[in-house]
């Protein structure tokens, strides 16, 4: 009798449990529902509470469904969860009570064929929108890099790819801009910004680091302003104006003006434009003073000539008068 009762209870319990689920041999499978609408349908599992390492779906709005990683109530902010929502896609919510979750792609890669990707934001406006800093790091002399490519540049004389490297080692400690042509041949470094703040164009190193801007080649500008002093001291009353005779002797002996670098010095050390312009201005002002002095001397000589001519004329007149009297 006890066996019959036990068997009956078992059959009754199984029937009640089976009544909550649908497992047909074909069509849709339902768990917690007798009318599944998809190949596998979940409904009212645990009445709105998730199970450990389980899956929870809710009836009603399509917003209410998700896959939980840890047990707890649906709205508890401390639990991590992965939500699949019709309007936002896949959301990984790290919660506050556990170690953060990560997405690891083991082999292969992640491909996004359309739409925008946002990091640190919910409404990206570009293919990749980032709210915050971006770190590119590689453990090598080239360091982290940013590549910019334009596939329409097919001429090998054009830079199809630009790369920005944070260099070290044999490349020097600097941020460098390199270009590559269509065949991926290195066209060379185009711009280098040293860790010391110096800017190099057309070269990667400099023997004299006192130059903030170092250009290997020609430079053109509509206007260059050099902040420097003038040479007004030449016009001071106590200025010792070089004697022209001494200047002539110096030029014959040295083949250049005093205080002006020689041609060899200019080739070896370059030219300080600000300093050279001041020196040239000084020489022009000295020459101006010499011209003014020579102008004074010339006027004095002209006045003397006029006076002599007047005296000669008077003497000529006197001589003529004497000759008349003799006759």
Sheet containing strand 89-93, strands side by side: 55-57, 65-68, 81-85, 89-93
Q: Residue 100 carries which DSSP code?
A: P
Dist CA 157 CA 221 (whole Å): 25
pLDDT at 66 over 70: no
Cβ 164 vs Cβ 175: under 8 Å: yes
Lowest mean pLDDT among 8-12, 143-147, 173-177: 8-12
Lowest mean pLDDT among 60-64, 103-107, 220-224: 60-64
Give me the pLDDT at residue 18, please.
Answer: 47
Dist CA 224 CA 215 (whole Å): 15
Residue found under tokens 């260059």: 224
Helices (H), 218-262: 244-254
Dist CA 196 CA 298 (whole Å): 59
pLDDT per position as a tens digit, 23-46: 677 888 777 777 776 677 666 544
DSSP code string of 146-181: EEEE-TT--STTS-SEEEEEEE-GGG-SEEEEEEE-
pLDDT at 48 over 50: no
Residue found under tokens 């206007």: 223
pLDDT per position as a tens digit, 217-272: 999 999 988 888 889 999 999 999 999 999 999 999 999 999 999 999 999 888 88
Dist CA 293 CA 291 (whole Å): 5
Q: What is the mean pLDDT of the chain?
A: 80
Give me the pLDDT at residue 13, please.
Answer: 44
Bigger pLDDT: 67 or 6? 67
The encoded tokens of residue 40 equal 């596998």
Dist CA 154 CA 152 (whole Å): 6
Kindly state the average pLDDT of the residues 313-322: 89
């Amino acid at each position: 009798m006890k066996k019959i009762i036990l068997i009956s209870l078992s059959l009754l319990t199984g029937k009640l449990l089976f009544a909550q689920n649908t497992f047909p041999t074909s069509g849709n499978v339902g768990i917690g529902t007798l009318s599944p609408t998809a190949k596998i349908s979940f409904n009212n599992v645990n009445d709105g509470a998730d199970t450990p390492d389980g899956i929870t779906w809710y009836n009603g709005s399509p917003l209410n469904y998700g896959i939980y990683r840890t047990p707890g109530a649906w709205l508890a902010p401390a639990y991590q969860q992965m939500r699949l929502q019709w309007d936002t896609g896949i959301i990984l919510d790290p919660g506050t009570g556990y170690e953060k979750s990560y997405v690891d792609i083991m082999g292969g890669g992640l491909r996004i064929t359309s739409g925008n990707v946002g990091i640190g934001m919910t409404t990206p406006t570009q293919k990749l929108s980032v709210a915050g800093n971006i770190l590119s790091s590689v453990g090598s002399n080239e360091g982290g890099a940013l590549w910019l490519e334009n596939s329409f540049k097919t001429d090998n004389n054009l830079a199809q790819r630009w790369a920005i490297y944070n260099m070290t080692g044999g490349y020097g400690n600097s941020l460098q801009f390199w270009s590559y042509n269509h065949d991926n041949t290195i066209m060379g470094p185009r711009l280098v910004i040293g860790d010391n703040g110096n800017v190099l164009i057309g070269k990667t190193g400099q023997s004299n680091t006192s130059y903030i801007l170092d250009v290997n080649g020609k430079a053109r500008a509509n206007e260059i302003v050099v902040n420097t002093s003038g040479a007004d001291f030449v016009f001071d009353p106590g200025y010792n104006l070089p004697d022209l005779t001494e200047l002539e002797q110096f030029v014959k002996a040295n083949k250049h003006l005093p205080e002006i670098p020689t041609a060899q010095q200019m080739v070896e050390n370059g030219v300080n434009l600000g300093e050279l312009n001041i020196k040239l201005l000084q020489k022009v002002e000295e020459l101006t003073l010499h011209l003014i002095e020579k102008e004074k001397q010339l006027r004095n000589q002209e006045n003397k000539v006029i006076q002599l001519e007047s005296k000669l004329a008077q003497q000529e007149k006197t001589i003529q008068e004497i000759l008349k009297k003799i006759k």
